[in-house]
Amino acid sequence: MTVTGEVRGSNRDAASPPPVDTRPVEFWPTAAIRAALENDDLSVWQRIVVAIKRDPYGRTARQVEEVLETARPYGVSRAMSEVLVRTREHLEANECAEVAKHVHLLLERSGLGEQEFASRIGVPAEDFATYLQGSVSPPASLMIRMGRLSDRFARMRAQRADQ
């Protein structure tokens, strides 16, 4: 923990809170995260929330999970649990939308219709529609299959255009 000279040299009151680590939250040890969550300092909690939002599965998020599993700091535990859940849900929704855009690009590049594309990758048209909507992400192996199909038909179209 980084402690200023002013705090080091003073006789702190026993009831005063511990000094706040001035480094980015991502560099704090778990003990500092625990102390911050047990403290009533909203500005420190906000710093932790910002770090979680920046990287919902990163070091700080994992440390907060660990602290919440071993001890429930009064008041803030429910809020931090909500931050973890909502931030991760938001990340997943964004990732599904990004995958859906990629599936759209593969479909367009192939020049095939949705039904034909779905048939050629071996999935029901209804399942393929969920990939396009972003409500479900296809498995990695299916993404590879879609990429290969798109490449093959894009090459065939390019060859026809050259003739």
Beta-carbon contacts of 126 under 8 Å, excluding residues fewer than 6 positions away, are none
Predicted local confidence at residue 16, as pLDDT: 57
Q: Looking at the predicted structure, is the pLDDT value of residue 15 above 90?
A: no
Predicted local confidence at residue 136, as pLDDT: 93
Question: Model pTM?
Answer: 0.73
Answer whether 28's CB lies under 8 Å from 39's CB: no
Predicted local confidence at residue 77, as pLDDT: 87
Q: Looking at the predicted structure, is the pLDDT value of residue 162 above 90?
A: no
Predicted local confidence at residue 73, as pLDDT: 63
Predicted local confidence at residue 161, as pLDDT: 86
Predicted local confidence at residue 29, as pLDDT: 95
Q: Looking at the predicted structure, is the pLDDT value of residue 9 above 50?
A: no
**Angle in degrees, 0-180, between the axes of helices 42-54 and 59-70, rounded to the nearest 10:** 120
Give residue-wise pLDDT tens across range 41-78: 889 999 999 999 999 999 999 999 999 998 776 678 88
Q: Looking at the predicted structure, is the pLDDT value of residue 104 above 50?
A: yes
Task: Round to whole Å and give the CA distance between 118 and 1.
Answer: 56
Please compute the mean of the pLDDT values over residues 132-160 and round it to a whole number.
95
Q: Give CA angle at 65 (60, 67), nearest 5°.
A: 95
The end-to-end CA distance of the chain, in Å, is 70
The full set of domains in the chain, from first to last, is 13-74 (no CATH), 92-163 (1.10.260)
Beta-carbon contacts of 135 under 8 Å, excluding residues fewer than 6 positions away, are 96
Please compute the mean of the pLDDT values over residues 139-155 and round it to a whole number.
97
